[in-house]
Structure 1
């Protein structure tokens, strides 16, 4: 399997980490994209950042084109940001994806476009099955303080969203969303689940730190 461009989380799940309690200090959601892809003190964006932008655009497009409805996209994004992103009443899930994608494409117009890492082995029926088993065994109970449609945002609904994502967007994206949701909400990870995550991560050629950042959530570690 080819190596990824990054050893860390990336794409829409990497972006979700910036939507913490103080994310509005960046400005609008598209400003968070600019901060996420910022080259910092470097005079221009390098190949790795262009790869990051490509992965982000790919994720956003895959979610927008998936079989998830707007409510389900809102649910996944709310969970992936630990409840820190509050949708406006009239704002749909795809409205947000469009804003984020506009920010990403504007960045690419300034800094250039790179290819997306792809491999047929990262989206097989076997992995869809393995991801389904992992989702079924995952701890996905959300905190009581959640702001959006709390009565509908239960673990069963989250599992359903992740499975739809795996089948109609990509297994890899669904897996990274599963990990991001558990990390953002400090959900415990069972030893059996952790072993399954390690197998899936290896099959997807994900970087070392995509999983290791969740070590502290694993029971008995």
Structure 2
């Protein structure tokens, strides 16, 4: 069985849209949701958002809902930030349900979720609870809220919210996932019939040997291979979760990556969005000891999904 989307879906998909720049898509939370409920979405996408919101409303108190929403998003500020227009967790989810109902009614949608999209993970509840408890870098209140979600809503929704909390907390605190736990997360994702891009959204947090001073053999980072995926690290944060390298220009030095394609720790990076790839040819603009990587596909901290962007040039020194 296969779900309708290979990436995130339901309410957890919607939380990825509430990032630092969410107000670009609406002055209030309701306007932003209306914007993201695009007319071209599949009905299953809207049905999944509605189902998740309804599940949380029916199973959790408003304070727990607010904790989970905050854990899964990265907009800054408190839950009741005036810009959002949220009055309470329950009222906010009720708003989302009504917006989904309006979308479905306008298109006369009378279908329901079927097949893998109805999987709630009931038989996996214990395994999901173990992973929630094992993720100790999450604050206690978030883990408690996730446990309530797994027990009172569905393990599937709790697991997707766990992945969102891992991604957001890891991004803010530079927390790491052990390889063994990531492997378990992948197994659970497969059992829940998730698509190939959902669980890997937290793969960039997986602990790497070179983070502990272990030896690794640097390998040249070469361009020209459209399928080469390389996370681009900026200081202690991540500018692009993943990028497709199409050409590199190296002058007076070399750029290396570890065997997994990640830049060694401490590699600084400056972004120059909007530059055209044609402007990056040759070595004249790179400077001594500087490597320039030009990418045409990237994901950034706001969306975490591979998508076409304007030509994005990254200079690594």
Query: Structure 2 length as normaliser, TM-score?
Result: 0.58
Structure 1 residue runs without a partner (length 5+)? 40-44, 142-154
The answer as to 2:91 corresponding to 1:103 is: no
Query: 2:161 is matched with which residue?
Result: 177
2:128 matched to which residue of 1?
Answer: 131
Considering Cα pairs closer than 8 Å and 6+ residues apart, tell me whether 1 or 2 has the greater RCO: 1
Matches within 5 A, 1:39-188: 39=39, 45=40, 49-66=42-59, 68-84=60-76, 86-88=78-80, 91-113=87-109, 114-117=111-114, 122-125=120-123, 127-141=124-138, 155-185=139-169, 186=171, 187-188=175-176
Higher helix share: 1
2:206 paired residue number: 218
Alpha-carbon distance, 1:64 to partner: 0.2
Whether the 8 Å CA contact 1:29–1:100 is kept in 2: the answer is no
- Contact 2:52–2:157 (8 Å) recurs in 1: yes
Larger Rg: 2
Q: Given that residues 30 and 102 in structure 1 are in contact (C-alpha distance below 8 angstroms), is that contact kept between their aligned partners in structure 2?
A: no
- The 5-angstrom pairing of residues 18-29 of structure 1 reads 18-25=17-24, 26-29=26-29
Q: Is the 8 A contact 1:21 1:84 kept in 2?
A: yes
Q: Partner of 1:194 in structure 2?
A: 182
2:115 and 2:144 map into 1 onto residues whose CA distance is 25
Asked if 1:34 corresponds to 2:34, the answer is: yes
Cα shift at 1:118: 5.3
Shift of 1:85: 6.2
Contact 1:33 1:104 in 2 (8 A): no
Q: 1:198 to 1:173 in 2, by over 3 A?
A: same
Cα 1:207–1:79, aligned 2, differ >3 Å: closer, same or farther? same
Q: Distance in 2 between matches of 1:30 and 1:209?
A: 27
Give the deviation of 1:83 after TM superposition: 4.9
| TM-aligned CA deviation for residue 161 of structure 1 | 0.9
User: How far did residue 21 of structure 1 move?
Assistant: 1.1
Alpha carbons 1:19, 1:84 under 8 Å: kept: no
Change (3 A) 1:121 1:95: closer
| Rounded Cα–Cα distance in structure 2 between residues aligned with 1:98 and 1:213 | 28
CA distances 1:92-144 after superposition (whole Å, capped 9, x unpaired): 2101101111111111111243322456764334x110001111111433xxx
The answer as to whether partners of 1:194 and 1:218 remain within 8 angstroms in 2 is yes
Moved more, 106-115 or 210-219: 106-115
Distance 1:53 1:18 in 2: 15
Moved more, 56-65 or 73-82: 73-82
In the alignment, structure 2 segments of 5+ residues that lack a partner are: 209-259, 261-317
The separation in 2 between residues aligned to 1:160 and 1:108, in whole angstroms, is 34
Question: Does the C-alpha gap of structure 1 residues 116 and 53 become closer, same or farther in structure 2, counting only changes over 3 Å?
Answer: same
Equivalenced residue count is: 198
Task: Report the aligned-residue RMSD.
Answer: 2.1
Measure, in 2, the Cα distance between the counterparts of 1:116 and 1:27.
31
